[in-house]
Amino acid sequence: MLLKLVNLKFGELAEFGYKGKQMVCIGTNRIAFNALTLLLLASLLQPINIEYASAIEDEYSPQSLLLMVYADGMVDVEYVVLVDPRQISINVSLPGMFYENLLVINEEDLPLDYSILDGKVLVYSLGSWKLKFYYTTPDLTSKAGRLWTLHVNSYISFTVKLPADATVVFLSKAPTSIWTANGHYFITMPAGKQEISYIIGVIGSKERAIVLINEAEQAIIEAETKGADVTQASSKLSEARTALEEGRYAEAELLATQAKKMTEEAPIKIVPSQWDRLWVALGAVAIGLSIIIIFFQLRRRVKPTAKKIRQINVHKILEGKRHLRLEDREAIEFIASAGGEVFEAEIREHFKLPKSTVWRMIKRLEREGLVKVEKVGGQNLVRLIER
């Protein structure tokens, strides 16, 4: 309890003396001396506390975490942990599941060897006491319409640098600090499972709000035809229309986006009534009669043998892949419409995307086992993998 009190005092001091991006220390020597005395006393009374025991058990102690988010959802991660220099190797869990361009260095900025096993990074630390991880991952963000959400589960407080022109619309908890620099938001969040939702670009226009409301309304209509429960989504859409009428355009955009997301996540519960069963039965009879009539008509005709056109079942390919991003699904549908294979340049031209963004998209689809890439005439040919 005494050690936690000391930590609380330090937190109060940091919050009181924070100004901009600098820490203003007033009476620091006296406070630091008292805090140090309490720490020494706590260490004598409680030689091993719970947090330290946990750090020893995990073989490392997180020190800092910085996440730099880009407009396409990619995140550059800078993660620093303290380790026991007596250990030859350390297993470290990193935020995300895919680590692109991973670099591990020690306190002297010397690169270290590592291997990835069971979702963790095994680092051959060789007497180092500090490890720094630098990599890029697409696994920390998701997108619904224009709304991006960053998902982070951290043992320590962390700082997020958002893309330029990003507008924050939701924070799972109150941040410990927020500041801006060169058009970027910097947000420090407390430890734990946190979410930051934001929209890139200007929000609050009447025209954009109307477009989003219409999209949400169309999504609700389509979901209703499939038997989904869209009660909450309809209520949220009604709030969006009210906000639009009252001139609160930014709020209307946000509410419409939330309504569409709720529609996409609404469970489908079809409870057929007696009339529904009757219509289904009549429809089945009508289809059966139509098939019989067409069969006999085809038997009377002599038709030349035609080459069978290859059809691709996109629904079957995407089955069980609900976590895919919207742009990834659209890419799969585009490849399928082209017969199952296209050149990477065709994807860039069709979606008007930069080369780096398309390359990352294809890498994600490769990891999901949905496409494979072959070199044809010096170009990348992207081919669907059918199940």
pLDDT tens-place values along the chain, 387 residues long = 233 333 333 333 333 333 333 333 333 333 333 333 333 333 444 443 333 334 434 579 999 999 999 999 999 999 999 999 999 999 999 999 999 999 999 999 999 999 998 879 999 998 999 999 999 999 999 988 778 999 999 999 999 999 988 888 899 999 999 998 888 889 999 999 999 999 887 666 788 889 889 999 999 998 888 888 889 999 999 999 998 898 888 888 888 888 998 888 888 765 555 666 777 778 888 888 888 888 777 666 544 444 444 678 888 888 888 888 888 888 988 998 888 899 999 999 999 889 888 999 999 989 988 999 998 888 889 999 876
58-200 maps to CATH 2.60.40.1730? yes
Alpha helix ranges (H) inside 46-177:
50-58
Reduced to 3 states, what is the DSSP secondary structure of residue 128? Answer: coil
CATH dotted code for 314-384: 1.10.10.10
Residue 215: closest CA among 248, 264, 168, 251? 264
Contact 155, 191 (CB under 8 A): yes
Q: Tell me, what's the pLDDT at 159? A: 97
Q: How far apart are CA 127 and CA 108, in angstroms?
A: 12
Tokens 């070199």 locate to: 375
H/E element holding 210? helix 206-225
Q: Is residue 257 packed enough to be buried (19+ CB in 10 Å), middle (13-18) or exposed (0-12)?
A: buried
The contacts found for 316-322 with CB under 8 angstroms, 24 or more apart, are 316/386, 316/387, 317/370, 317/384, 317/385, 317/386, 317/387, 319/387, 321/368, 321/370
Q: Which residues contact 365 (CB under 8 A, 6 or more apart)?
A: 328, 331, 332, 371, 382
Tell me how many degrees the CA angle 264-361-383 measures, rounded to the nearest 5: 100
Handedness of CA 216, 218, 221, 226 (dihedral sign): negative
